[in-house]
């Protein structure tokens, strides 16, 4: 069993991606540790980043290649050349857009099996068996990987893993895929870097759902959250109704939070949303519907109007010495 | 839009052809808890649940309408061709239950609306789905620009746009949130990249996968729009019509769903008592003295 992990260091976020790949290798693989031998292809843009990025690699053996940013097609060409006539059994990518595109294009090119957002991968007598979330988070599917190489991306939840402590990295080769590369089809790029993510570091998060009743209700919950010193998030229906900015969206298509306390007001509790809050220490659901799915996913349930309860709670928290 | 192929001419007018490939899915939120069990086949029984547009595809359909009806290019390096236009097409893969959505799109001004009836479930077969979409583009003349949602259920793999692009040999951009005409043959596209909001310029052909766009609801056609298109029916194609043997494509799946398990999100759900919101808030506040 041979594998190649692919660490894209051409755009920001390499450490997060390395944590995901490393966590998956340590805890997501089963049935193949005894014979596992792998290496990491590290793609970098700025030569000054080479050393730092090589140190992030989740395997001891590393290949370095300089590549232009946002070019999965070039990464795939590098991997295809690297594989030659004896490809490894497994190519492992991070689960971001570039990693997913590279995995898909590589599977298309090689005829290999493709599995995205993998929760785990086992090797058994029949070959590879991977798991991933399906049906908007309601179910987990088991997928048989029938053709090698297996082109697999790791689920975003693996990025919560710690970085592996490797004794030393060995550079197997260095290459340059940037010089002479075909021009990008995308030009005049302007990148607006995101503002600091208050949701990621928050101790308390208050989430407004559709039950807030409209833009005014959502704004009142946001104001109450601010008085509590809490970060504010919303469910997908709220964001899609433009009652709050999309960067506040929590769930599979938005952010994942892990506060000590998460108060969810007026959300039904769709699995795709619950994925975004399930790491919270305590989940409080405020919902007048006693049968809403969120009531079974919460530690505490308040059956009442979300806006009224959150505002009353904000009064209490803000009145605490040093609070608000 | 300046386009050179003769096939892109319409009554002497140069036209950019946009194809939106969309999926009609069951409304999973409408299923009861007890219904989430694996069926005798390889999926959950959802035939009785109402059908809706996949949310990302709905954004794609509305973004395409915005491109057709939107303002003129925002920056012009050369004179804009006053006769240039946008022609919209919509494609879905599915049975008769998709036709009400196609009829709505015809009323909204989609000039071409088609469904490919695969006669096999392709929910967990992204390569077969991508082959059909790419086959339509190649065989029927689908467009210069293909728009899709970045992900759709029940598979949620999020790879069909990339596979369509790979089939066609086109570039692909994902997590698209906005599209506008830039000049007479280029588009300005905004997407949510991993490192921030990215705006860029591109010249079709290209595949764009739409993500969390704030344009999220499809317009509703007026009665007069519906009456104006009354009698127009969507085209119904077979996989063979677009040069794909879907039996082979699905049967040769290199990644096959072999089992499903229910995901449980369960916590105690202790009810906080009180007769008013303020009393309940006070009880909640007292329950977690160290939590605030």
Measured distance CA(B128)–CA(B163) in Å, rounded: 10
Does the distance separating the beta carbons of B203 and A136 come in below 8 Å?
no
To test the contact with chain B by mutation, choose from A43, A74, A139 the residue with the greatest count of B C-beta atoms within 10 A, namely A139
Mean predicted confidence (pLDDT) in A182-204: 87
CA distances from B32 to B156, B206, B265, B278 (A): 20, 40, 15, 32
Q: Say yes or no to pLDDT of A134 above 50.
A: yes
Q: What is the pLDDT of residue B292?
A: 66
Average pLDDT over residues B182-205: 91
Residues of A in contact with B169 (CB under 8 A): none
Query: Which of B195, B53, B29, B42 has the alpha carbon at shortest distance from A274?
Result: B29
Asked if the model's pLDDT at residue B263 lies above 50, the reply is yes
Percentage above 90 pLDDT, chain A: 75
| Average pLDDT, integer, range B120-141 | 92
- Dihedral sign of CA atoms B248, B251, B256, B261 in order: positive
Percent of chain B with pLDDT over 70: 86
Q: Which two tokens stand for residue B262?
A: 């229910």
Mean pLDDT, rounded, for A95-104: 95
User: pLDDT digits over B151-162, tens only?
Assistant: 998 999 999 999
Closest CA to A138 of B246, B8, B256, B25: B25
Contacts of B155 in chain A (CB under 8 A): 134, 141
For residues A86 and B93, which has the higher predicted lDDT (pLDDT)? B93
Under the banding of pLDDT at 50, 70 and 90, the label for residue B82 is very low
The verdict on a CB contact (< 8 Å) between A129 and B271 is no
Model pLDDT, residue B5: 41
Q: Are the beta carbons of B196 and A298 separated by less than 8 Å? A: no
What is the structure's pLDDT at B9? 52
Q: How many CA atoms lie within 13 A of A314 on its CB side?
A: 23
User: Tens of pLDDT along A210-251?
Assistant: 999 999 999 999 999 999 999 999 999 999 888 999 889 999
* pLDDT at A318 (0 to 100): 85
Convert the pLDDT of each residue in A259-280 to its tens digit: 999 999 999 998 889 989 998 9
Among the listed residues B200, B149, B148, B128, the one whose alpha carbon sits nearest the alpha carbon of residue A184:
B200
Average pLDDT across chain B, whole number: 87
Q: Is residue B69 helix, strand or coil?
A: helix
Confidence class for position A254, pLDDT limits 50, 70, 90: confident
Q: Buried b vs exposed e over B30-56: b needs ≥16 C-beta within 10 Å?
A: ebeeeebebeeeebbebeebebebbbb
B91-98 average pLDDT score: 95
Of the candidates B252, B260, B60, B49, the residue with the CA atom closest to the CA atom of residue B152:
B60
User: Mean of the pLDDT values across residues B2-25?
Assistant: 69
Residue-wise pLDDT for B214-227, tens only, equals 888 899 999 999 99
Separation CA A169–CA A191 (nearest Å): 33
Element (H, E) at B65: helix B55-69
What is the ipTM for the molecules in this complex? 0.91
Q: Is the pLDDT of residue B3 over 50?
A: no
Between A232 and B81, the higher pLDDT residue: A232
- For residue B127, what are the β-bridge partners? none
Q: Count other C-beta atoms under 10 Å from residue A171's C-beta.
A: 14
| More confident site: A116 or B84 | A116
Higher pLDDT, B80 or B188: B188
Partner-chain residue, chosen from A11, A133, A194, that has the shortest CB–CB distance to B156: A133
- pLDDT at residue B10, rounded to an integer: 54
**Any idea which residue has 């590290």 for tokens?**
A42
Q: What average pLDDT is seen over chain A?
A: 91
Distance CA A100, CA A19 (A): 17
Q: Tell which wins on pLDDT, A324 or A27.
A: A27
Residue B41 confidence (pLDDT)? 61
Query: Are A204 and A261 a contacting pair, CB within 8 Å?
Result: yes
């Amino acid at each position: 069993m041979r594998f190649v992990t692919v660490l894209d260091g051409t755009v920001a976020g390499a450490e997060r991606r390395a944590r995901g790949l490393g966590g998956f290798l340590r805890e997501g693989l089963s049935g193949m540790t005894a014979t596992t031998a792998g290496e990491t292809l590290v793609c970098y843009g700025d030569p000054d980043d080479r050393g730092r990025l090589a140190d992030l690699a989740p395997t001891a053996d590393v290949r370095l290649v300089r590549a232009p940013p946002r070019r999965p097609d070039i990464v795939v060409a590098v991997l295809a050349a690297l594989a030659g006539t004896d490809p490894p059994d497994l190519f492992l990518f991070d689960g971001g857009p570039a990693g997913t595109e590279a995995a898909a294009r590589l599977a298309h090119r090689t005829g290999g099996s493709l599995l995205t957002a993998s929760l785990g991968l086992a090797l058994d007598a029949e070959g590879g068996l991977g798991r991933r979330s399906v049906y908007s988070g309601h179910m987990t599917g088991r997928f048989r990987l029938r053709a090698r190489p297996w082109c697999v991306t790791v689920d975003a939840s693996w990025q919560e893993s710690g970085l592996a402590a490797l004794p030393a990295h060995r550079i197997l080769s260095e290459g340059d895929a940037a010089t002479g590369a075909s021009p990008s089809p995308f030009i005049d790029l302007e990148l607006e870097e995101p503002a600091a993510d208050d949701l990621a570091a928050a101790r308390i998060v208050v989430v407004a759902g559709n039950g807030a009743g409209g833009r005014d209700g959502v704004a009142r919950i946001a104001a109450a959250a601010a008085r509590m010193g809490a970060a504010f998030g919303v469910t997908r229906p709220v964001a899609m109704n433009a009652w709050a900015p999309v960067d506040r969206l929590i769930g599979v298509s938005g952010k994942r939070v892990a506060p000590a306390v998460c108060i969810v007001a007026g959300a039904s509790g769709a699995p795709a949303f619950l994925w975004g809050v399930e790491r919270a220490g305590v989940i409080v659901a405020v919902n007048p519907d006693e049968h809403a799915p969120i009531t079974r996913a919460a530690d505490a349930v308040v059956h009442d109007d979300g806006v009224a309860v959150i505002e009353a709670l904000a009064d209490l928290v803000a009145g605490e010495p040093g609070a608000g | 839009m300046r386009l050179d192929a003769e096939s892109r001419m319409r009554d002497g007018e140069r036209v950019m052809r946009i194809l939106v490939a969309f999926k009609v899915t069951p409304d999973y939120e409408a299923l009861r808890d007890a219904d989430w069990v694996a069926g005798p086949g390889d999926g959950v029984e959802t035939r009785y649940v109402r059908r809706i547009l996949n949310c990302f595809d709905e954004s794609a359909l509305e973004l395409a309408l915005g491109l057709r009806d939107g303002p003129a290019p925002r920056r012009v390096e050369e004179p804009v061709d006053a006769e240039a236009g946008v022609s919209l097409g919509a494609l879905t893969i599915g049975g008769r239950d998709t036709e009400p959505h196609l009829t709505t799109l015809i009323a909204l001004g989609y000039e071409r609306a088609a469904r490919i009836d695969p006669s096999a479930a392709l929910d967990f077969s992204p390569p077969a789905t991508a082959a059909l979409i790419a086959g339509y583009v190649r065989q029927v003349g689908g467009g210069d620009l293909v728009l899709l949602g970045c992900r759709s259920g029940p598979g949620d793999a999020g790879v069909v746009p990339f596979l369509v692009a790979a089939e066609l040999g086109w570039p692909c951009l994902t997590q698209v949130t906005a599209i506008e005409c830039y000049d007479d043959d280029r588009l300005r596209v905004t997407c949510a990249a991993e490192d921030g909001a990215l705006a860029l310029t591109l010249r079709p052909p290209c595949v764009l996968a739409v993500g969390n766009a704030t344009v999220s609801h499809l317009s509703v056609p007026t009665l007069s729009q519906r009456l104006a298109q009354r009698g127009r029916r969507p085209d119904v194609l077979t996989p063979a019509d677009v040069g794909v043997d879907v039996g082979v494509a699905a049967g040769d799946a290199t990644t096959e769903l072999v089992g499903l398990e229910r995901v449980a999100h369960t916590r105690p759900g202790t009810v906080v008592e009180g007769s008013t919101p303020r009393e309940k808030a006070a009880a909640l506040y007292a329950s977690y003295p160290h939590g605030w």
